[in-house]
Structure 1
């Protein structure tokens, strides 16, 4: 009789355990369904198809860029990164599609720094490489090297503000006109130089001719200042391009630095600016 009672008790425990387990799994399934229902197809598609973007071979993803992918002898340390980055890319530069090419990871400099390189015949021509196929130039831009809009002449509010802020006597050297966010109003990327004081700045100016940001500021003695200005011009230094297929064109700016490649990415969308208001640069070690 005692054995029967024990057996009956065990059956009750097993039944209760089964009910509890079944209920828990059901709760988890319900939670998962609710989470999935809250994600639209476009959300899932965007997550899956988020493009991989390189600037002169360097990943724009800071986490990936700092990852230890290889060791000093180019031995693979991170196979996941190789699978992610060694692929075919679409290559672009200065508003032009260059072509397609397969990228290969190589070491860059000392330690674990890495980059993606392309065959030399095409690798020398591009600035931006994108893994996905879409139009990264949804709107065209215009480079102006003379006959600037009157809002940028030497007595304009923009130039007076710059000269007062940095105690210089600068003037506009180049202008790029572009509608960054697609709202029908043009923004301006301008290069302003004072050769006497070894000063230049690249500024983003909005459609109302107000300075949004000093994207680059250089102001120190440098023997080859004229060459530096040429290297940092608006047309060939950096890129204006949509890097995530959202219709907004980002600004990639090369920054003067002592060694290596240094750049920043800025975004302007409907009056909202993402980036530093002032980026000071230097060529000192």
Structure 2
């Protein structure tokens, strides 16, 4: 496995190494059976041994921090909630929160009103209100949601406080169509909108995405975006693809928009594509 090349390369082989590496988790680093291989962990160990900090950049909220640390145990930093929570965990005994953004109840109410009008139909909505370990989402019970627990709450109960982010699904629309409508009607000054492959549009605080979360890490370390290498698979990875300058690598199973934005395409997540690429990079 370690000797396999990337599938597609649109850039020449660079000299030197990046100064910061960030990877998405689900669909990119994590395999379909929800595991991360020993090979991947060993390659990430080598990345850190080479003096390159590793960032886990995920849409998962802080309530899933322990799961995230297990999946990318080599990470020096975590960019969670799609950029809303940034943690320096180089000292795991005393992790430091560098960013903790919240979406105001007023802004979320307005965003959902605009989106429901644009969707021309009712939405199923859930909010991530708590960062407590394994806390449930609140909102509409939706059999389509298969990832973790939902605690049923009314829309007014969901909108009575600031939240980490919200999820919205229109049963009558494909998620990419709903996202396109959301991006047309929800101003960036009101909220950030994206989708992460879960079948839902995700609504985050304005200015919050993986790029802005990575920018917090880069500024903390004094690293230029031109020296950052990123890996991803879904539209919520596109902001960091636009931001990172050393390289943007998609896995083969990535969303078409991410494949189109990539400099290179590596193997699928189920074939340890991130680790295969990094192993090749470190071996040059």
TM-score of the aligned structures, taking structure 2 as reference length:
0.30
Compare the two structures and name the one with the higher strand fraction.
Answer: 1
Question: Would you tell me which structure has more helix in proportion to its own residues?
Answer: 2
TM-score w.r.t. length of structure 1: 0.30
Report which structure shows greater RCO (CA 8 Å, sep ≥6).
Answer: 2
